[in-house]
């Protein structure tokens, strides 16, 4: 069948003039290739799955953490009978920074050595420095 049709097809094809390619088509296609490649590589199904999955899981984890944390906190507070104080009551005279600043250095160093096996937190450093200034004032306590 193929052999029988071939001469006819050849003849018909010779009568058909090839249509010219639209002007600029080649350039447009070539220009679109990098963008296509880029789009394809950014949004592969795997990446999309990972990103969406991670985000959803993260939200779930954070929500669960917050909920469980709240439940645990409430249970612990009920256990110890501790309730957070309100600002009104905390506005009453509290031992503020000046209270600690007035401690003699030896007491503070005792406190530091009591509290810290290892490294004292950075926020306490200024207290220690203040205590050194107070040493002269309260020397001998």
Partner 1 sequence: MGISVHKVIVKVLVILAILTTAVLTVRAVFNYTMGRKLEAALRDAKADGFPLSGFDMTPACAETDNGASLWKAAEALIVLPKHQERTASVKAIESLFGGSPIDPKSRKLLSDWVAKNRKVIELIDEASSMVCFRYDTPERPLFAKAYPDPIKLLQAARLLAIQALLKADETTWQEGLAGCRQGMRFFKNLADADASVLIMGLTAVADLKMLVAGFNRIVQGRDMDTADLVSLMKEFDAGAWRNKFARFIRVERVFGLEWGLARIAGDPEVLEARSFPGRAWERGRDWLIRPLLKWEVRRNFKMSLEIDKLLLLPYHEQREAYDQLVAHRGSVPWHIRPFGIMSMDHRPVFMKEATLEAMMLTTKAGLACKIYRNMNGRYPDHLEALVPSILDEVPLDPFTGKPLVYRFAGDEVLVYSVGSNGRDDGGRETYQTTQLVMEKDDDRAWREKAR
Residue nearer to partner 1 on the CB measure, 6 or 55 = 55
**In the range 28-67, which residues lie near partner 1 by CB under 8 A?**
34, 37-38, 41-42, 47, 50-51, 54-55, 57-58, 61-62, 64-65
132 binds partner 1 (CB under 8 A): no
DSSP letters for 98-113: HHHHTS-HHHHHHHHH
Phi-psi region of 23 (alpha: psi -120 to 50; beta: other; left: phi over 0): beta
Alpha helices in the chain (DSSP H): 2-15, 25-42, 45-80, 87-90, 97-101, 105-115, 125-137
Contact footprint for partner 1 (CB under 8 A): 34, 37-38, 41-42, 47, 50-51, 54-55, 57-58, 61-62, 64-65, 68-69, 72-73, 75-77, 79-82, 84-87, 89-90, 92-95, 97, 99, 102-104, 106-107, 110-111, 113-123, 137-141
């Amino acid at each position: 069948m193929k052999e029988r049709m071939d001469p006819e097809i050849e003849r018909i094809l010779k009568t058909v003039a090839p249509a010219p390619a639209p002007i600029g088509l080649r350039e447009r296609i070539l220009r679109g290739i990098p963008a296509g490649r880029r789009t394809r590589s950014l949004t592969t199904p795997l990446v999309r799955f990972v990103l969406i999955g991670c985000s959803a899981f993260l939200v779930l984890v954070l929500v669960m953490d917050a909920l469980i944390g709240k439940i645990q906190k409430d249970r612990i507070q009920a256990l110890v009978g501790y309730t957070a104080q309100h600002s009104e009551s905390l506005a009453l005279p509290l031992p503020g920074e000046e209270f600690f600043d007035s401690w003699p250095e030896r007491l503070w160093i005792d406190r530091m050595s009591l509290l810290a096996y290892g490294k004292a937190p950075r926020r306490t450093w200024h207290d220690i420095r203040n205590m050194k200034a107070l040493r002269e004032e309260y020397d001998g306590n």
